[in-house]
Amino acid sequence: MLIIAHYKLIALYCMSTVVSNAQYAVLTGDIVNSSKLNVAERETLLRSLTSLFDKDQEGSENDLKLKVTFEIYRGDSFQSLLDIPQQALRIALIIRTYLQSQVSIDDRLIASDARIAIGIGSVDSVTATLAESNGEAFRFSGRLLDTLKKEPNQIAIKSQQPTLDDEVNTALVLLEGIIGKWTALQAEVVYYKLQNHTEVRIAELLKVKQPAINQRAKAASWVAVERLLARYQELVTP
């Protein structure tokens, strides 16, 4: 798994106020349809989602090394702090594809997804919990999430650059049309591709043949997803 979780990052931030002009990404999200899960399913899902971020995976086979602080709050909501804003969209998609590809103990598909608001900006301070932290990126993300229920896309971005926001959010509306057609198996392949696994490695992990992985990736329009990630990274890079 790609993500290096650093809960120690919170402790380091708590030592002092962030006063630099560095840009951060804050992801604030709600799990969609969580009320349709029973208590055991909800707890299992939240626990597995948190586990994406709480293990040191430096020995993993992928080349993404990200510092991500992740926190569940209010039962079915979450917040994440990322010091590399260029990877925020990738992290948001990893969360969504992970949720979309999960299966419950009795093999009933859990119709879970996430609504995620990405705020990019400065951070004034980080406290013991992200929910109580402050800064431009936190404000952008929190306010944006409140408006997402009325929007066709389930991922959106807010930064200091309206032109950037308009381009990315327009693309995200189009992306939603692609995501809405994914099966759980296709979402699973995209989940691993987002972590830079090769199709051969994904086939080994899922115990299927490589052509099946390639077919699922094509059906999921992976090339379009990859292009959008590259364009987003280009736009957000100073």
Per the DSSP assignment, residues forming a β-bridge with 81 are 26, 69
Domains identified in the chain, total number: 1
114, 29 Cβ separation under 8 angstroms: yes
- Domain range for 95: 3-236
Is a pLDDT exceeding 50 seen at residue 204? Answer: yes
Which of 127, 44, 32, 107 has its CA nearest to residue 77? 32
More confident site: 81 or 21: 81
123, 81 Cβ separation under 8 angstroms: yes
125, 17 Cβ separation under 8 angstroms: yes
Please tell me the predicted confidence (pLDDT) of residue 222: 98
Please tell me the predicted confidence (pLDDT) of residue 103: 60
Residue 125 banded pLDDT, cuts 50, 70, 90 = confident
Identify the CATH number of the domain in which residue 208 sits: 3.30.70.270
Which of 219, 221, 220, 201 has its CA nearest to residue 210? 201
Please classify residue 96 by burial: count the beta carbons closer than 10 Å to its beta carbon, then call 0-12 exposed, 13-18 middle and 19+ buried. buried
**Residue 24 is inside which H or E element, if any?**
strand 24-32
State the amino acid at position 108 in one-letter form: R
pTM score, whole prediction: 0.85
Residue-wise pLDDT for 73-121, tens only, equals: 877 889 999 989 999 999 999 999 999 987 644 445 555 899 999 999 9
Residues found in the chain: 238
3-state secondary structure of 233: helix
CA dist., res. 97 & res. 68, Å (int): 17
Is a pLDDT exceeding 90 seen at residue 149? Answer: no
Is a pLDDT exceeding 60 seen at residue 220? Answer: yes
Q: What angle do the packed helices 210-219 and 222-236 form, to 10 degrees?
A: 60
72 token code pair: 């569940």
